[in-house]
Amino acid sequence: MQEEPVKGGVPEGELRQTEWADMLPHTMSGDYYNEFWSYHIFLENDLHLHMTFSLANFGSFKSPVSGGKLFVSNFRGNNYNVAREFAIEHLVIDEDRNKIRLHEGRDIHLSGKLPYEHHIFFRTEKDGVSYLVDLDFHDIHQGYTWGDGVFRLDSEDMGIFVHIPRAEVTGIVAINNDTLEVSGTAYMDHTFQTNLSSKVVNKGFRHITHTDNGFHIGYYLVPKKRSRADVIGLSLIRENSPTLLEKPKQITVLDSDRLGGRSVPRHVEVVFRSGKRSVFSRQEDFQHVSFLEEIGGIRRRLVRSFLGGEVIEYVGTGKMDGSVEINYNFFVVH
């Protein structure tokens, strides 16, 4: 019997600007979901931050939660990561102040109406280490998405919104009260799936380049099932001109190597519907961490079995087409 093709589709429409309504949660209902607001922040002296605010529902296996995760790379030569998780009923969305707070009693939140203003604050302590990130965004480029921003695979929706393709940032980063005044550039996207990432996606890949006056960025996901949207994602390019949208057609892992005992793509080719293509290369790896990092022992093995795999995230720097410097972020379901 011939297998019935998987139904899928790309977003309706073309390039459009994102609004505050796009920033709000798109899930919060259904048996399963994942939603992420992901920041990549590039500061002086090769200090890098990767911060994620998240919502997730694991169905009957686990109650819905919000989460905050922080990777800090090269803080006085050291790397750190910390994650926090809260019951979803503590989530606070203050539309009057354009603010999303993970817990009414904790200092982890984002605020400000884009592209006019934005602020992120992350303060926590864990295992005897205290963390503080307090950053103001300015000179914020307008955010964009492709049409309604939603890709469809069978009954599942997957959304991608680039709310901050580029912004300047200033503020402080502190580890154990060792405080640095910092400045640099930042990127933020917002994604969601109406199922768990490990159930619907094999791998994902971001590349980020901030030029003097613009940016070249992209975010791509490879579904587990074939569909009319074999690659989910978009690329945005701005170089002294209006922002351009490139639509991915195919993504190919050219070769891989071992990192943390697992196979991770080393060179990836993306072919776009316009006929253009680019090759992205991992070069220097800063950190890799599991989405299940906070779960240990037997429970972690049970969760991994339930999810159908473990999502590992990899962060570092590389090259586009052999010459253009990029910051990369992979996640792979192992």
Residue 65 or residue 305, greater confidence: 65
Cα separation, 105 vs 125, whole angstroms = 14
Written as one string, the DSSP assignment of 203-246 is EEEEEEEE-SS-EEEEEEEEESS--S-SSEEEEEEESSSS-EEE
Confidence of residue 6 (pLDDT cuts 50, 70, 90): very low
Structure tokens given for 247: 């639509």
Structure tokens given for 10: 């790309």
Residue 287 pLDDT greater than 90, yes or no: no
Total H helices, total E strands in the chain: 3, 24
- C-beta contacts of 247-250 below 8 A and 24+ residues apart: 247/10, 247/146, 247/272, 247/273, 247/274, 248/218, 248/220, 248/272, 248/273, 249/273
Radius of gyration of the chain (CA): 19
Amino acid, single-letter form, for residue 110:
L
pLDDT at 196: 65
pLDDT at 261: 78
Output the pTM of the full model. 0.90
Residue 244 pLDDT greater than 80, yes or no: yes
pLDDT at 184: 97
pLDDT at 4: 41
Contacts with 77 (C-beta within 8 Å, 6 or more apart), sequence order: none
Predicted confidence (pLDDT) per residue in 176-196, tens digit: 989 999 999 999 999 998 876
Cα separation, 310 vs 273, whole angstroms = 31
Contact assessment for residue 133 and residue 173, using Cβ atoms and an 8 Å cutoff:
yes
Residue 55 pLDDT greater than 80, yes or no: yes
Q: CA quadruple 6, 12, 14, 18: dihedral positive or negative?
A: negative
* pLDDT mean across residues, the chain: 86
Residue 275 pLDDT greater than 90, yes or no: yes
Confidence of residue 2 (pLDDT cuts 50, 70, 90): very low
Residue 5 pLDDT greater than 50, yes or no: no
What would be the CATH architecture of the domain defined by 8-333? Beta Barrel (2.40)
Element holding 297 (H helix, E strand) = helix 297-307
Predicted confidence (pLDDT) per residue in 198-235, tens digit: 566 778 899 999 998 899 999 998 887 655 457 889 99
pLDDT at 43: 97
Cα separation, 37 vs 47, whole angstroms = 20
The residue among 85, 74, 82 whose CA lies nearest residue 127 is: 82
| % of the chain at pLDDT higher than 70 | 87
Domain ranges, ordered by start, for the chain: 8-333
Predicted confidence (pLDDT) per residue in 323-332, tens digit: 999 999 888 7
Q: CA quadruple 43, 48, 53, 54: dihedral positive or negative?
A: positive
- Average of pLDDT values for 260-275? 90
- Average of pLDDT values for 130-159? 93
Structure tokens given for 207: 């590349």
pLDDT at 3: 38
